[in-house]
């Protein structure tokens, strides 16, 4: 049996279509096929979806995998593809686009399944699904109402109405007592249109009408319409019959005019129980009444039911006809009800994964209900929460698109200084940063923060949230001291307003610790991280991501202070990161920091651990992520320590080029990576080239982070080695001595890098006594047999390579 996902139930009353199914089978061997309405029924109703479902079941045994993807809206399509990624055992990237690309590539390669069928249902915008269409030996089937499909994307296959024999068979399968002549009379009236035939059969069975009664009503209804069509007339009869049988059920159906074709669960409809008319409210109040009304709508052929019968799927044509039937007043009233219903279904806390299924059920209906045009704060807050949900789930593009639409609409209707306009702008900036548009995010955040401070004041919670985001922008720009000043001010405000143990206050303290770490103040960062970790352990369950964030940050602090054993022990304790999964951001941080500590401790497996970490980062974030690049730098340092200078040079050269592209030429991380590159170049004997790289990097670091920053001191130590190698002994001695003094002041006399600088000064001076003293201290720090004191014993100059903290 093939693996199946999302496939609708098979229609037990499917008839005919044998030639179409055979033709479709043949076309799929040549590439993707798109099923379209026939030219004389452009609005649909000819049975495209049912044909696709039947094909999937009929030929299922020829496939290893059959996956059904609702594609009417991008967010729903992406969610279904993420489900397919899980089935394919693909790692889920934080950016959902990387996951979707991995799905496409795995299917195209035929790994792990060579024969597969993927069906995109209601894909009405070819440009939306084109990036996700796989190639290879599998088959892609699309259903669509849009005729703008080119042969380059998919082969068009129009789906006509039934032939007369199939119409008769279809009607008699629905009603076995129906004689062939009566079935043919009905088929003639309905022009063999499958959707009209289905509605006629359903309403006859539900209402108990004879053929003559139905045809009489049909002719009367057709005479009332200016442009009667089989679907419009048949639908009208079914709608009238349902309204007569159950006004509440019909009103429930009318609500669907403002919802999408995605399944509408009874839980979502239940949220309207305090908002609807008295007649409908009585039905909605009790679950069994609501489910009975849903089943009644299905009996009259006006909606498909989820397999359990607990939700509605309303055809786009039915939705359209329902909307056209409403008066302007009724339309406005029902639209208000639907919007209020969606707002009432909002579970809140969109960062909580337990709430994501509810948000996934709500998001498809935002467009059709025009929730962005809602006139209440609750509805606008729902939109904001959906923006955040999409971001938290990793669908940054959908989050950005929804936030951008909301920001534009609300700026026009409410003004750019409205509280919710500013809040959705904050979320838009987050999404922009996540998709790589850092300059746009920075500009929007700065503008939003100015407006919030003017309108809401500096102590408003949303103002503080935006200020935190601006701090992230400053860190990304390399303005570490400005970020520290802003985050320190934010922390004072948070603690005054909420107390120091409030979760958002702890996040702000965590950000301030990150600033201090980036500034090289590892003592200050350690004190703050220890405090935040204790408080998070008291308020969060063991294994909470924020607790593990503090643990990882503290580990880097210890590494920066030269306590490599302490960093390793903190990261290895009790498997704290295991529950998150190997590719969770906190687990990735822990993996890199552990590899760094293992390298400094001289462990043989450091390089292997760093290589695994880099691959996980690439899968999760891509090659241009600053986190991936930092992991590459750590791997390069491992390769250099192992004497593999060619690999270290390759890794660092690429990392430096990408840092230039992502962060800019003057960013401290770009310059720091260049210093590490110079160290590899120096190790291969290209001293003039290394001197040029170090000279430029050192000047840049002195400008950006100052002379006393660890990055600058490490670069200066390398530059002194360059100068010695090219015969500039006097300036080399001056720089080396200045670096040693600054390192003692900043890091302490017993820090491993200070001891390395002390040895280098003694080596340059030929001071045997000072060299022996430095070697003894290095042996105490690293232990006997460690490569660093061994190199010193061999009379080789010591490097102080740079490891990059998280931004």
Q: Strand ranges (DSSP E) for 144-263? A: 155-159
pLDDT tens digit string along 628-687? 999 999 999 999 999 999 999 999 999 999 999 999 999 999 999 999 999 999 999 999
Residues 788, 755: contact at Cβ < 8 Å?
no
Where b means 16+ CB within 10 Å and e means fewer, 339-378 reads bbbbbbbbeeebeeeebbebbbbbbbbbbbbebbebeeee
pLDDT in the model for residue 575:
62
Q: What is the DSSP string of 453-476?
A: HHHT-TTSHHHHHHHHHHHHHHHH
Task: Name residues whose C-beta falls within 8 Å of residue 521's C-beta, 6 or more positions apart in sequence.
Answer: none
Q: What is the DSSP string of 724-764?
A: HHTT-HHHHHHHHHHHHHHHHHHH-TTSHHHHHHHHHHHHH
CA 273 remoteness from chain centre = 33
Dig out the tokens for 46 from the structure: 């000819």
User: Which residues, listed in sequence order, are joined to residue 5 by a DSSP beta bridge?
Assistant: 67
First and final CA of the chain: distance in angstroms? Answer: 48
Q: Strand ranges (DSSP E) for 392-482? A: none
* CA-based nearest residue to 502, from 556, 455, 548, 464: 464
Which stretches in the chain have pLDDT values below 70?
Answer: 1, 94, 307-309, 573-576
CA distances from residue 301 to 72, 314, 472, 760 in whole angstroms, order as listed: 22, 10, 54, 86
pLDDT in the model for residue 316:
84
Strand 264-265: give its sheet, edge to edge. 264-265, 311-313, 304-305
Task: Name residues whose C-beta falls within 8 Å of residue 715's C-beta, 6 or more positions apart in sequence.
Answer: 671, 672, 675, 678, 694, 697, 698, 701, 802
pLDDT in the model for residue 562:
95
User: Measured between alpha carbons, how far is 526 from 536 in angstroms, rounded to an integer?
Assistant: 15
Average pLDDT, the chain: 92
Question: What size, in residues, is the chain?
Answer: 807
Task: Name residues whose C-beta falls within 8 Å of residue 685's C-beta, 6 or more positions apart in sequence.
Answer: none
Task: Name residues whose C-beta falls within 8 Å of residue 344's C-beta, 6 or more positions apart in sequence.
Answer: 271, 272, 274, 275, 378
* CA-based nearest residue to 204, from 188, 216, 220: 216
Q: Which CATH superfamily is domain 3-160 in?
A: P-loop containing nucleotide triphosphate hydrolases (3.40.50.300)
* CA-based nearest residue to 736, from 651, 682, 798, 648: 798
pLDDT in the model for residue 1:
66
Measured on CA atoms in the order 458, 463, 464, 470, is the torsion positive or negative?
Answer: negative
Domain boundaries, the chain: 3-160, 165-361, 665-793
pLDDT in the model for residue 138:
94
User: Measured between alpha carbons, how far is 674 from 672 in angstroms, rounded to an integer?
Assistant: 5
User: Measured between alpha carbons, how far is 710 from 742 in angstroms, rounded to an integer?
Assistant: 10
Alpha carbons within 13 angstroms on the beta-carbon side of residue 374 total 29
Widest pairwise Cα distance in the chain: 115
Q: Which CATH superfamily is domain 665-793 in?
A: Tetratricopeptide repeat domain (1.25.40.10)
Q: Strand ranges (DSSP E) for 335-374? A: none
CA distances from residue 618 to 98, 289, 291 in whole angstroms, order as listed: 10, 52, 47
* CA-based nearest residue to 406, from 389, 390, 422: 422
* CA-based nearest residue to 644, from 691, 598, 684, 602: 684
Q: How many CB atoms neighbour CB 622 within 10 A? A: 17
């Amino acid at each position: 049996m093939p693996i199946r996902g999302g496939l609708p139930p098979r229609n037990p009353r499917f008839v005919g279509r044998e030639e179409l199914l055979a033709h479709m089978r043949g076309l799929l061997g040549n590439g993707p096929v798109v099923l379209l309405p026939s030219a004389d029924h452009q609005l649909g109703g000819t049975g495209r979806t049912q044909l696709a479902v039947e094909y999937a079941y009929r030929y299922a045994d020829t496939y290893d995998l059959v996956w059904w993807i609702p594609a009417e809206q991008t967010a729903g399509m992406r969610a279904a593809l993420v489900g397919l990624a899980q089935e394919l055992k693909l790692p889920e990237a934080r950016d959902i686009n990387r996951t979707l690309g991995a799905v496409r590539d795995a299917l195209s390669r035929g790994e792990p399944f060579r024969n597969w069928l993927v069906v995109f249902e209601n894909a009405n915008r070819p440009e939306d699904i084109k990036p996700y269409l796989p190639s290879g030996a599998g088959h892609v089937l699309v259903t669509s109402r849009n005729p703008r499909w080119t042969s380059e994307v998919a082969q068009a296959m129009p789906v006509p109405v039934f032939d007369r024999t199939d119409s008769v068979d279809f009607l008699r399968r629905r009603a076995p007592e129906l004689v062939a002549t009566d079935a043919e009379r009905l088929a003639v009236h309905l022009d063999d249109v499958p959707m009209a035939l289905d509605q006629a059969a359903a309403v006859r069975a539900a209402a108990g009408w004879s053929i003559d009664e139905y045809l009489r009503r049909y002719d009367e209804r057709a005479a009332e319409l200016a442009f009667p069509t089989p679907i419009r007339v048949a639908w009208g009869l079914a709608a009238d019959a349902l309204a007569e049988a159950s006004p509440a059920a019909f009103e429930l159906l009318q609500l669907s005019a403002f919802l999408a074709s995605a399944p509408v669960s009874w839980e979502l409809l239940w949220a309207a129980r305090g908002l609807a008319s008295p007649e409908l409210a009585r039905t909605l109040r009790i679950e069994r009444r609501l489910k009975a009304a849903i089943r009644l709508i299905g009996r009259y052929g006006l909606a498909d039911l989820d397999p359990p019968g607990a939700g509605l799927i309303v055809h786009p044509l039915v939705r359209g006809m329902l909307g056209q039937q409403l008066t302007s007043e009724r339309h406005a009233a029902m639209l208000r009800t639907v919007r209020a219903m969606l707002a009432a279904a909002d579970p809140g806390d969109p960062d909580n994964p337990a709430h994501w299924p509810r948000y996934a059920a709500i998001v498809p209906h935002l467009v059709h209900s025009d929730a962005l045009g809602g006139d209440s704060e609750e509805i606008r807050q729902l939109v904001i929460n959906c923006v955040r949900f999409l971001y938290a789930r990793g669908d940054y593009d959908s989050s950005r698109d929804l936030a951008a639409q909301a920001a534009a609409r609300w700026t026009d209707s409410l003004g750019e200084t409205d509280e919710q306009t500013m809040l959705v702008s904050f979320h838009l900036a987050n999404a922009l940063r996540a998709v790589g548009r850092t300059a746009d995010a920075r500009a929007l955040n700065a503008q939003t923060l100015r407006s919030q401070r003017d309108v809401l004041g500096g102590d408003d919670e949303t103002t503080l949230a935006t200020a935190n985001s601006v701090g992230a922008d400053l860190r990304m720009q390399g303005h570490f001291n400005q970020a520290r000043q802003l985050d320190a001010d934010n922390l004072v405000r948070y603690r005054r307003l909420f107390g120091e143990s409030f979760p958002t206050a702890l996040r702000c303290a965590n950000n301030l610790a990150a600033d201090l770490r980036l500034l090289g103040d590892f003592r200050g960062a350690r004190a703050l991280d220890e405090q935040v970790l204790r408080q998070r352990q008291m308020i969060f369950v063991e294994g909470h991501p924020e607790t593990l964030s503090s643990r990882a940050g503290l580990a880097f602090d210890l590494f920066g202070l030269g306590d490599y054993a302490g960093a390793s022990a903190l990261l290895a304790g009790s498997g704290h990161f295991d529950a998150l999964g190997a590719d969770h951001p906190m687990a990735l941080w822990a993996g890199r920091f552990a590899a760094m500590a293992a390298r400094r401790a001289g462990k043989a497996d450091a390089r292997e651990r760093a290589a695994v970490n880099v691959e996980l980062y690439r899968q999760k974030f891509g090659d241009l992520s600053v986190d991936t690049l930092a992991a590459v730098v750590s791997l390069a340092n491992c390769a250099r320590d192992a004497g593999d200078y060619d690999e270290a040079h390759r890794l660092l050269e690429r990392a430096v080029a990408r840092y230039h592209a992502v962060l800019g030429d003057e960013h401290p991380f770009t310059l720091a990576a260049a210093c590490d590159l110079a160290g590899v170049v120096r190790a291969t004997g290209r001293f003039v080239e290394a001197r040029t790289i170090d000279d430029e990097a050192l000047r840049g670091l002195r400008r950006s982070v100052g002379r006393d920053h660890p990055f600058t001191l490490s670069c200066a130590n390398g530059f002194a080695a360059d100068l010695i190698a090219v015969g500039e002994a006097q300036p080399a001695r001056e720089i080396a001595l200045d670096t040693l003094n600054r390192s003692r002041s900043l890091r302490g006399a017993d820090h491993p890098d200070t001891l390395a600088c002390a040895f280098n000064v003694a080596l340059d001076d030929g001071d045997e006594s000072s060299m022996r003293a430095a070697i003894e201290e290095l042996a105490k720090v690293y232990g006997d047999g460690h490569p660093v004191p061994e190199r010193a014993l061999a009379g080789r100059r010591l490097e102080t390579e740079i490891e990059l903290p998280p931004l």
